[in-house]
Structure 1
Amino acid sequence: MKKAGLLLSAMLFCANSSFAVDKALSGVVVNPFEKQLEHGLRGYYVIKGQTESASLLSTMERYKIPGVSIAAIHDGRYILVKAYGYKDSSTRQPLTSNDLLQAASMSKPITIVAALKLASQGKLDLDANINNYMTDKWRLGDNQYTKPQPVTARLLMAHLGGINVAGFPGIDRSVSKLPTIIDVLNGKKPYVTTEAVKVVDTPGSKFAYSGGGISILQLAIMNITGQDFASWMKSEVFEPFAMQHSTFLQPLPESYQSIASSGHDKNGLVYKGRYHNYPEQAAAGLWTTPVELIGIINHLKMAYYGHCSPLSIESGFFSQMFTQQKPSPFGLGFMLESTPDVFTFGHDGVNDGFQSKMIAFVTPHGSKAKLLDDALIVMTNSDNGHYVLDSVVNAFTDVYGINYHPPIQISPQALPKDINKYLVSFSFANYPKNIHRVIAENGKLYLNWFQDGYTEVLYSLGNNTFVTLSGYKLVYSWHGNKLSLVVTYQNNPSDSAIIN
């Protein structure tokens, strides 16, 4: 295994504001987690009495996922840094742990960590009107929604800003001159295909995930620092963490192309131009590797426990990062989950051709449960990456006894006689163009997610409730002739579907 920039012991380096460590991971022995990946992947639900399980490689083959790259920490120690498959399905060039992948929305919490450094320096007031950090080149328009409460950096970080534009589709690499972040915020055509970013709901009133809001934060950072975003992130985040390959540069310079993975569609084919560019750097533009990214997560775990950080951020801001900003399920930047035994912070990422997940496991403050010091990052170069992400997390938590999403055993019931009434097409308000279907074949019901050609069996639990083993739960109800469908993925908040 090749050398990688690793931060194996943050406590030893906190006296310096920057450092670089080059450690070899060669010789790491096969561990229980790696063995579990070979034969022990499972879903969120398991059928009672069933012992069958899948392997990572067989799952990759089934869903045409060319490459998966993983970095894992258990008890504060790196226990796996490994890549599987190919970085380009057409050339069959192997993917290595040093190859860059698009982090997609995992860019957001890394941006917010950097923004908290500005807050710690007194340069960014989290609760001030975000327009205080804008110039005449672009300002967030005031309207009836901003009268009771202005949009603030805190609200943007927790997706409570009432801002539109959930995500960004990326731009074809044939476009020689990328739009600027101001072009993105203005929705300037033809290459920016999303709407102009604006306030569409009362700030602070409800959670609405918004890449548009993080793009506002990007412009604020640029205005405060007087630097381009990628350069500032390199000096303030990547260099202190010895992230030698990671970059927010868009488009990606030629010097990086040899270590950049291609993105792949749902058929396992390379995207035209290999991947898309993202001028929305803070929201979606990070290129990185799991082993470099997990260095930041490792230090954030230490900050959670009160240890120092090379970022020199005041502990109070770290505390706010790990505190739910209600009514959002997020803290500042990270999705949070908490049980009596486990507290997690993490984020998913989805760009065209790339899907990823990062998650850290720590012990809740005040809990008498065992001390957790664990983290996992899984990155894929495929639009089908979601078929492996949570299964890899399950393998990790199963092996190390982390009480996070333990398997839920089900005893499926016979399907109702009239299964045709459950056949629907549906979408969700945030992503109306993503159409999902419930279909019937050979007397069984299937969930066809994203109409991507792959289906999962829907098992009946009775009372018009159906689940897939991966964790989708569909609950049907009728009010007269009107059908309502509530969809839940694992233990995430339920979402009412729009019947198409």
Structure 2
Amino acid sequence: MTRLLERYQIPGASLAVSKDGRLLLARGYGWADAEAGEPVRPDSLFRIGSLTKPITAVAVLHLGEQLVRQGRFPNLEAFLKAKVYGLLALEPYGGKLGDPRIESITVRDLLQHSAGWNRNVAGDPMFRPTLTYVARSLGMGEAMPVQPLIEYMLSRKLSFTPGTFSAYSNLGYAVLGQLIEYLSAQSYAAYLKGMLGQMGIHHITVGHTRLQDRLPGEVKYYDFPQAPLVQSVLDGSLVPRPYGEFYLEAHAANGGLVASAPELVKFVAVLEGHRPEASPISLEARKIMLERPALPQYNSSKVYYALGWSVRPKENGLMWSHDGALAGTRTLLLRLPDDTVIAALFNSRPWNDWSFIADLKNSLLNAAQQVTRWPNYDCF
């Protein structure tokens, strides 16, 4: 971890490691706030970017099983096949769907990124420059709530037919956040708080855009050296990118959470039934969550995106993971086939990002493989 901070000029990081549900290591490295001389603590909070998505996915499955118990769906599979547009009280901008195929998007499509939105073709409306275009079209500022943004995208054409292809989509997970709110009659943050509280997790929550609004125990975020300032989405003033290039509150369900490394590994440990707290989803739902999607591109691929997780089958089981990235943030949550779980969080995103994330993954895997005997204590 120290080598990675030095090589990629990152101020601070946090690392947590668990084995068979026992927390074996939780440590902070470097600076949470370099100017104030505040070190990273083992339980420091970090923005986790797209590592939010597997947490949202579990919340959706948890909600689905609740609705089954209430008799609103016959089983979880029926919930996953349900057409999302018919479940939501959303009106397309201008009053008309931009593509009739939108009506066929299912809950499963959103979870596995097969809903028809492709940011490589049509841009990502959650981020600039596409966000700027959407905001101007709506006559709104870029710091807009997520609902009008989604309603605008419902008035546009899809990039492909839902259920035929997987293309990573922040917008799809933003829609899942709206689905949770509408079907649970709670805010996304409140629903998540209830589910996570039952798991013994109390500090994973939605973050805020501005530096002055950071949460108690949250680190400060740094752009890479010599990175340019940008105009804030909030007021147009010049700010560092982590504090104004995007409106974090609108990203709640797709990339807006903050968390500590120990609570992220606990999330996986409880999910797998290794802790005394009850898992939020059943064994059947967890199996469905990790299944290979029935999409042609995954027929013979070594890695696939399931319901909220990137999954790589290995000889001794499944390795599943998710990473996250925003200006000022880089994160990774990694579950190995032997029930080792590793969370690594950083308060800067290097300019050579893909080199860094590859280096991080390889370093953590190599370190885990070198362990010959795991301790028996539990720091949870």
Q: Does 1:102 align with 2:70?
A: no
Corresponding position of 2:329: 354
Corresponding position of 1:261: 219
Corresponding position of 1:49: none
Q: Does 1:245 align with 2:194?
A: no
Per-residue CA deviation, residues 139-192 of structure 1 (Å, 9 max, x unaligned), is 993625458xx1101011011111244753389xxx9994211123145xxxxx
Equivalence map 1:147-226=2 (5 Å): 150-165=104-119, 167=124, 168-169=126-127, 178-186=143-151, 199-226=158-185
Separation in 1, partners of 2:186, 2:98: 27
Equivalence map 1:388-403=2 (5 Å): 388-401=356-369
State the 1:198 CA deviation: 5.4
Corresponding position of 2:97: 141
Corresponding position of 2:8: 63
Corresponding position of 1:281: 252
**Per residue, is there more strand in 1 or in 2?**
1
3-state secondary structure, aligned to 1:85? strand
State the 1:294 CA deviation: 1.2
Separation in 2, partners of 1:146, 1:57: 47
Separation in 1, partners of 2:92, 2:101: 19
Corresponding position of 2:286: 318
Change (3 A) 1:382 1:282: same
3-state secondary structure, aligned to 1:224? helix
Corresponding position of 2:347: 381
Aligned partners of 1:67 and 1:87 also within 8 Å: yes
Q: Which amino acid aligns with 1:291?
A: P
State the 1:83 CA deviation: 1.1
Q: Which amino acid aligns with 2:340?
A: D
Corresponding position of 1:441: none
Match of 2:30 among 81, 85, 97: 85
3-state secondary structure, aligned to 1:356? strand
Q: Which amino acid aligns with 1:220?
A: L
Corresponding position of 2:375: none
State the TM-score, normalizing by the size of structure 2: 0.75
Change (3 A) 1:294 1:275: farther
Per-residue CA deviation, residues 408-457 of structure 1 (Å, 9 max, x unaligned), is xxxxxxxxxxxxxxxxxxxxxxxxxxxxxxxxxxxxxxxxxxxxxxxxxx
Q: Does 1:302 align with 2:260?
A: no
Separation in 1, partners of 2:192, 2:28: 26
Separation in 2, partners of 1:287, 1:262: 12
Q: How many residues get paired?
A: 325
**Per residue, is there more helix in 1 or in 2?**
2
State the TM-score, normalizing by the size of structure 1: 0.58
Share of identical aligned residues, percent?
22
Separation in 2, partners of 1:250, 1:80: 28
Separation in 2, partners of 1:335, 1:98: 25
Corresponding position of 2:136: none
Change (3 A) 1:292 1:136: closer
State the 1:114 CA deviation: 0.5
Change (3 A) 1:342 1:184: same
Separation in 2, partners of 1:354, 1:229: 22
State the 1:103 CA deviation: 0.7
Q: Which amino acid aligns with 1:58?
A: R
3-state secondary structure, aligned to 2:319? strand
Equivalence map 1:355-370=2 (5 Å): 355-362=330-337
Aligned partners of 1:263 and 1:270 also within 8 Å: no
Aligned partners of 1:155 and 1:161 also within 8 Å: yes
RMSD after superposition: 3.3
3-state secondary structure, aligned to 1:259? coil
Per-residue CA deviation, residues 59-89 of structure 1 (Å, 9 max, x unaligned), is 3223211111111113432221111111233
Aligned partners of 1:128 and 1:152 also within 8 Å: yes
Q: Which amino acid aligns with 2:308?
A: G
- Gapped regions of structure 2 (runs ≥ 5): 74-78, 132-139, 230-238, 299-303, 372-380
Aligned partners of 2:200 and 2:277 also within 8 Å: no
Q: Which amino acid aligns with 1:182?
A: Q
Aligned partners of 2:91 and 2:151 also within 8 Å: no
Structure label with greater radius of gyration: 1
Corresponding position of 2:81: 127
Separation in 1, partners of 2:227, 2:42: 21
With CA pairs under 8 Å and 6+ residues apart, which has the higher RCO, 1 or 2?
2
Change (3 A) 1:221 1:258: closer
Aligned partners of 1:89 and 1:270 also within 8 Å: no
- Gapped regions of structure 1 (runs ≥ 5): 1-55, 188-193, 363-371, 404-500
State the 1:250 CA deviation: 4.3
